Structure 1
Amino acid sequence: MSKRVLIVDDSSIMRKMVRKNLESGGHTILGEAKNGIEAIELYRSLKPDVVTMDVTMRDMDGFTAAEKILASDPNARIIFLSNLDKDKYSENAVRLGSLGYIKKHNAKEMLALIESIRIK
């Protein structure tokens, strides 16, 4: 089932790569944010099915943004995409209530996780 996705990453190159991977899987990109502040604003206005969230960004990092999004909508579905050490950061991602922590270049795993999400 096609999902409506908000992409959050400070790198325009990475946003483009994630967009390409998601669109090739049949998903719709509702918007893109380059930091956590924009992510919160766009989440509220766009109401995406899923958010892909980078960890390290200027102005507001991904963990802080996810915490704020989940505080306002406990049903938010957030997947962290990062090239940072998975062992070091995935525990924090899970603690926050995200659906997972995936390496940015692992398109297959990202698509599989997004496709497994059930939308009510």
Structure 2
Amino acid sequence: MAHKIMIVDDAAFMRMMIKDILTKNGYEVVAEAADGAQAVEKYKELQPDLVTMDITMPEMDGIAALKEIKKLNSNAKVIMCSAMGQQAMVIDAIQAGAKDFIVKPFQADRVLEAIGKTLS
């Protein structure tokens, strides 16, 4: 059975890029969200196997959303995505429970490697 994935990014074309990589490789994208608040609501509803989460977003940023999702499910698998490969943000994300970190612009093989590792 295909793993269910939710993509969270405020940029529609970034969501489209990740969705394209995932669907071509047999994953099922069950939801997309444009900000952290939407992501938390959709996570409650759908309980996806994995979430890709942008860090910098309006309403609620990715790290705040990650913490909320972790409260709902301590075993939630979340991979953070950001154009800013800043050490502090990476460390915050990992400390908050992120399983991995992908830097934009996305390299398809890196996205697939991170997801494959996290789901195995």
Superposition TM-score tier, normalisation by shorter sequence: over 0.9
8 Å CA contact 1:86–1:102 kept in 2: the answer is no
SS of residue paired to 1:80: strand
Distance in 2 of aligned mates of 1:63 and 1:93: 6
Shift of 1:86: 4.0
Distance in 2 of aligned mates of 1:86 and 1:16: 24
Distance in 2 of aligned mates of 1:55 and 1:118: 21
Match of 1:55 in 2: 55
1:1-23 per-residue CA deviation (whole Å, 9 max, x = no partner) reads: 73210000000010000100111
Identity percentage over the alignment?
34
Rate the CA distance shift 1:118–1:79 in 2: closer, same or farther, 3 A. Answer: closer
Distance in 1 of aligned mates of 2:107 and 2:87: 16
Match of 1:81 in 2: 81
Moved more, 82-91 or 39-48: 82-91
Aligned residue type for 1:62: G
Unmatched 5+ stretches in structure 1: none
Match of 2:114 in 1: 113
Shift of 1:89: 1.6
1:35-89 per-residue CA deviation (whole Å, 9 max, x = no partner) reads: 0010000001011000000001011000000001001110100000111124232
Match of 2:44 in 1: 44
Distance in 2 of aligned mates of 1:88 and 1:106: 22
Distance in 2 of aligned mates of 1:75 and 1:54: 19
SS of residue paired to 2:51: strand
Q: RMSD of the TM alignment (CA)?
A: 1.4
Distance in 2 of aligned mates of 1:78 and 1:97: 8
Shift of 1:102: 0.9
Unmatched 5+ stretches in structure 2: none
Rate the CA distance shift 1:118–1:19 in 2: closer, same or farther, 3 A. Answer: closer
1:67-119 per-residue CA deviation (whole Å, 9 max, x = no partner) reads: 01001110100000111124232111110111011113122111112112347
TM-score, L = length of structure 1:
0.92
